[in-house]
C-alpha cells in the first residue's frame, strides 16, 4: 500500500515545532492548526522580525527558544541535535477507534484524513453546544476530562461535571454514542470482560509484554505506635463482582506496546536486519516448512516461538522478533511475513525519545516517524489483538465483531501525529 500523506522538509518541521511550542496567539492555539497554517504563521513572524520578541510570551519559552536556535543553525549549515515533538491526537480514542474499525470515530482523532488537524475534545464540545437547548456551563477543559475518563470506563467525572440525571449528562452520553459510536461501544464492551471475583486479570500483548492486573481492596488496620493507636492502610487481593479498571488497562497495555514498537522500528540495527534477511532468504530458497525446524532449545528459540504464537493468535507481528531470528531458528516463523515487515522499516534508523504519546525526533526524520506510526496503527486495526486479549482474560475464545474496514485509510492520515 502506497503512502500518500503530505510530507515536509526538516526546516518545515522546525517551523511547525516552533509554532506549536509558542502555543496561543491572539486567542488561537497554534498547536491545533494544520501544519501548513503553522508554517505560514512562522513565516509571517519571521518576515516581520517578531520571532525573538515572542520568546517571553510563548507557552513553552525554553522549547520555543531552542527551536529557534536549531532553525538558525540549520540555515547557517551547522548541525543540530534539537528534536521536534509530534504528539498523537487523543491516543486513547485513536486506539479504541482503530480496534473497533469505526470510520466515524477515526475521523474525530486524526486516524483518517478530514482535511484538517482534528481536536476531538473541541469538536465534541461543539456538538454539545450546538444540540443543547439549555445553558451549558461546562467548558472544553472540563469536557476533555469527562471524555477521557468516560472512555476509560469512568462514570464519576461526567456525573460530577453535569450532575446526576441532568439533561446535560443525558446529552453528553448521546453525543458519545452517536459521534464516536465504535469507540464508545468498544469501551462499554471491554467492561464486560471483567471476571467476577477473580483476584487478577492477565494477558500478554504481541511483543511479549506480560500484563497482570491485580484486583485489590484497601484494608485499614490499627496498630500501636509509642502507645498510641495508628491506622495503617494495606492492600489485599480480593475479587469483586464488577470493576471498571479493566477497560483502561487493556487500552494502556496496547498504548505502551505502540511506544515500544515505534522505538524498535525507528531505531533498528541495520546489521541485525541484514542478518535476519539472510536467514530468511536461506529459508525461502530451501523452501523449508516452518514446522520442520524449531531451533535448538535455546532461550532465544523459546522466546521467538512464544512471540510467533502471539502473532498467530493476534495477527500483529512485533518487531521484537528481529532481535531473535537466526539461521538456526528461522523456520519457527514465516520468512515471508518477516521480510514483509522489514520492508516497512525506515531505510535510515533514528533514535526516538517517547514520553507516553509524544515522540521527539531529529527534524530530518519527521516523515519517517509519522509513516511508522501510521503503519503500526494500520496493522493493529487489521489485527485480532482485541479478540486475543479477550480470549486470554476470559479463558474462552472471543471473536469481537468490527463495524468497518478502515485499515488501509489509516496509512495516509496526515494528522495521526501532529
pLDDT of residue 293: 52
Structural domain contains residue 415: no
At which of 82, 117, 146 does a domain end? 82
Structural domain contains residue 67: yes
Distance CA 336, CA 13 (A): 35
At which of 47, 82, 117 does a domain end? 82
- The total domain count for the chain is 2
pLDDT of residue 222: 74
Mean pLDDT score, 119-126: 92
- pLDDT tens profile 140-173: 788 888 998 899 888 888 999 889 999 999 999 9
pLDDT of residue 236: 73
Judge contact between 268 and 323, C-beta under 8 A.
Answer: no
Structural domain contains residue 247: no
What is the percentage of the chain residues whose pLDDT exceeds 90? 78
Lowest model confidence (mean pLDDT) among 72-76, 334-338, 388-392, 397-401: 397-401
Structural domain contains residue 59: yes
- pLDDT tens profile 52-65: 999 999 999 999 99
pLDDT of residue 231: 78
pLDDT at position 224 over 90: no
Structural domain contains residue 306: yes
pLDDT at position 290 over 60: no
Residue among 254, 240, 264, 326 nearest 91 (CA): 254
Q: Which domain holds residue 316?
A: 269-344
pLDDT of residue 52: 97
Highest-pLDDT range among 158-172, 184-198, 215-229, 339-353: 339-353
Lowest model confidence (mean pLDDT) among 145-149, 254-258, 299-303: 145-149
- Contacting residues for 97 by C-beta, under 8 A, at least 6 apart: 105, 106, 108, 109, 111, 180, 182, 183
Structural domain contains residue 22: yes
Structural domain contains residue 194: no
In our burial notation (b when 16+ CB lie closer than 10 A, e otherwise), range 186-212 reads bbeebeebbbeebeebebbbbbbeebe
pLDDT at position 289 over 60: no
Per the document, the length of the chain is 418
pLDDT of residue 294: 59
At which of 344, 376, 400 does a domain end? 344
Amino acid at each position: 500500500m502506497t503512502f500518500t500523506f503530505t510530507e515536509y522538509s526538516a526546516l518545515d518541521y522546525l517551523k511547525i515545532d516552533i509554532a506549536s511550542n509558542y502555543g496561543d496567539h491572539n486567542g488561537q492555539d497554534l498547536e491545533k492548526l494544520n501544519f501548513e497554517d503553522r508554517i505560514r504563521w512562522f513565516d509571517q513572524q519571521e518576515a516581520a522580525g517578531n520571532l525573538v520578541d515572542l520568546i517571553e510570551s510563548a507557552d513553552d519559552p525554553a522549547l520555543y527558544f531552542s527551536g529557534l536556535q536549531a532553525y538558525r543553525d540549520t540555515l547557517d549549515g551547522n548541525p543540530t541535535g534539537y528534536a521536534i515533538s509530534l504528539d498523537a491526537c487523543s491516543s486513547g480514542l485513536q486506539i479504541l477507534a482503530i480496534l473497533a474499525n469505526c470510520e466515524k470515530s477515526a475521523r474525530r482523532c486524526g486516524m483518517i484524513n478530514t482535511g484538517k488537524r482534528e481536536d476531538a475534545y473541541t469538536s465534541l464540545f461543539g456538538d454539545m453546544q450546538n444540540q443543547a437547548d439549555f445553558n451549558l456551563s461546562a467548558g472544553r477543559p472540563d469536557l476533555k476530562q469527562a471524555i477521557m475518563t468516560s472512555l476509560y470506563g469512568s462514570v464519576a467525572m461526567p456525573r460530577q461535571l453535569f450532575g446526576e440525571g441532568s439533561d446535560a449528562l443525558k446529552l453528553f452520553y448521546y453525543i458519545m454514542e452517536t459521534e464516536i459510536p465504535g469507540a464508545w461501544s468498544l469501551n462499554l464492551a471491554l467492561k464486560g470482560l471483567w471476571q467476577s471475583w477473580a483476584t487478577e486479570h492477565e494477558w500478554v500483548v504481541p511483543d511479549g509484554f506480560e500484563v497482570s492486573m491485580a484486583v485489590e481492596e484497601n484494608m485499614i488496620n490499627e496498630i500501636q505506635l509509642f502507645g498510641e493507636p495508628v491506622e495503617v492502610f494495606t492492600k489485599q487481593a480480593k475479587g469483586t463482582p464488577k470493576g471498571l479498571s479493566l477497560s483502561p488497562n487493556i487500552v494502556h497495555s496496547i498504548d505502551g506496546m505502540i511506544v515500544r514498537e515505534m522505538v524498535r522500528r525507528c531505531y533498528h540495527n541495520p546489521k541485525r536486519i541484514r542478518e535476519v534477511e539472510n536467514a530468511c532468504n536461506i529459508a525461502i530458497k530451501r523452501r523449508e516448512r516452518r514446522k520442520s525446524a524449531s531451533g535448538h532449545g535455546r532461550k532465544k528459540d523459546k522466546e521467538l516461538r512464544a512471540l510467533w504464537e502471539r502473532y498467530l493468535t493476534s495477527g500483529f507481528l512485533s518487531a521484537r522478533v528481529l532481535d531473535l531470528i537466526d539461521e538456526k531458528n528461522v523456520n519457527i516463523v514465516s520468512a515471508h511475513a518477516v521480510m514483509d515487515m522489514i520492508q516497512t522499516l525506515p531505510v535510515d534508523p533514528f533514535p526516538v525519545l517517547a514520553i507516553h504519546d509524544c515522540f521527539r525526533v531529529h527534524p530530518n526524520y519527521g516523515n519517517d516517524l509519522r509513516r511508522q506510526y501510521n503503519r503500526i496503527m494500520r496493522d493493529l486495526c487489521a489485527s485480532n489483538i482485541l479478540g486475543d486479549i479477550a480470549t486470554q482474560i476470559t479463558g474462552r475464545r472471543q471473536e469481537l465483531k468490527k463495524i468497518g474496514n478502515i485499515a488501509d485509510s489509516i496509512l495516509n492520515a496526515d494528522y495521526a501525529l501532529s
